[in-house]
Amino acid sequence: MKPYRYERSEDVSGTISTIAEEPEGAFLAGGTNIVDLMKLGVMSPDMLVDVRRLTPDDVEETEDGGVRIGAAVTNSDLAAERTIRSRYPAISEALLSGASAQLRNMATTGGNLLQRTRCVYFQDTTTPCNKREPGSGCSAIEGHNKNHAILGASEHCVATHPSDMAVAMTALDAFVVTHGPDGERRIPIEELHRLPGSEPERDTILEHGELITAVELPPTAFFSNSKYRKVRERASYAFALVSVAAAMDVEDGVIRDVRIALGGVAHKPWRATKAEEALRGEPVSEANFRAAAEIELEDAEPLSGNAYKIPLARNVIVRTLSDLSEEGR
């Protein structure tokens, strides 16, 4: 591991100016991903700025009746938070399906959003990877790609985003609050992560030195009827092959409103807006769920090893929406 300078600042603005002067600097929060990537030689920052004690570590109600989650709230604290469990259960379920208890105790809300892909080639410095080393090529397109993207990929990168929490937050219309050199901004979470295009090295739209300080959830009542379903290769402690977060508002057997996001299928949490549009105002039925899922997956382009994800995603969407229509009645 390359030597690095450790810094800690007392306030957000001090931290942002410290890192602005260090192009190879990075933020350190729980460290569960970046420490590992530094050991692997995938990331080699000159400086780490510790932000774990800098951003809020609590969950509070906002003026509009929604909820603000401090960026330093750990994954385990957030999953156990009463308000989250009752009003946004998909987020609690997503967090509890990710990583291990030890990792959740360290990992933070902000860090979870910014974790890097678990593509095996990204993590192996002996192989080409456009995300790790722009222009070196993508080893996964012709290689071991059963875990890779079926939607929104490019000829430069087919990696998937690994977060469970972000998928649930994407379904539930979250906003990400950041502080950067140009001040504060509030980003719809759907716009935070990027598709790879020709710049797969950029996971998000954040500028260098822009710090996530909080995630805000809207006060939408039917989000209490939300769910996260994850399919993986073993019962626990594994990344998603496919996951679905959804929320549904059902009245008299008709879908008044619905939110759906998919994990494990793209370079970012995939908001299934086409499926949502197809379902609004329609009666609850398995046939309608299936038709909507198929509309969303029409654009899927499987690789040599991951065509299974198309029927899998369709089935997990149908199952999740069926569960929600039962519970929502």
Binding region for other proteins (CB under 8 A) = 1, 3-6, 28, 31-32, 35-36, 38-40, 48, 50, 52, 76, 79-80, 85-86, 89, 92-93, 96-97, 99-103, 105-106, 224, 235-237
Coil, strand, or helix at residue 184? strand
Measured between alpha carbons, how far is residue 206 from residues 39, 150, 179 in Å?
A: 24, 25, 10
Residue 96 or 265 having the CB closest to other proteins: 96
Cα–Cα distance for residue pair 161/146, rounded to 1 Å:
14
Residue 28 or 149 having the CB closest to other proteins: 28
Q: Which two tokens stand for residue 16?
A: 């942002």
In one-letter notation, the amino acid at residue 316 is: V
Least distance to other proteins, CB of residue 24, Å: 14
| Residue 149 and residue 265 in contact, taking contact as beta carbons nearer than 8 Å | yes
In one-letter notation, the amino acid at residue 233 is: E
Residue 97 or 130 having the CB closest to other proteins: 97
In one-letter notation, the amino acid at residue 307 is: A
Residue 54 or 176 having the CB closest to other proteins: 54
First vs last C-alpha separation in the chain:
55
Least distance to other proteins, CB of residue 8, Å: 8
Least distance to other proteins, CB of residue 152, Å: 28
Least distance to other proteins, CB of residue 178, Å: 22
Least distance to other proteins, CB of residue 261, Å: 18
Measured between alpha carbons, how far is residue 54 from residues 5, 13, 21, 27, 220 in Å?
A: 18, 10, 19, 11, 29
Residue 171 or 303 having the CB closest to other proteins: 171
Kindly give the residue spans of alpha helices, DSSP state H, lying in the chain: 12-20, 34-40, 75-80, 82-87, 89-96, 101-106, 109-113, 165-171, 189-192, 273-279, 286-297, 309-328
Residue 199 or 323 having the CB closest to other proteins: 323
Residue 6 or 135 having the CB closest to other proteins: 6
Residue 44 or 154 having the CB closest to other proteins: 44
Q: Helices 309-328 & 286-297, crossing angle to 10 degrees? A: 140
Least distance to other proteins, CB of residue 51, Å: 10
Burial class (CB in 10 A: 0-12, 13-18, 19+), 139: buried
Least distance to other proteins, CB of residue 230, Å: 9
Measured between alpha carbons, how far is residue 157 from residues 79, 147, 260 in Å?
A: 32, 13, 24
Least distance to other proteins, CB of residue 36, Å: 5
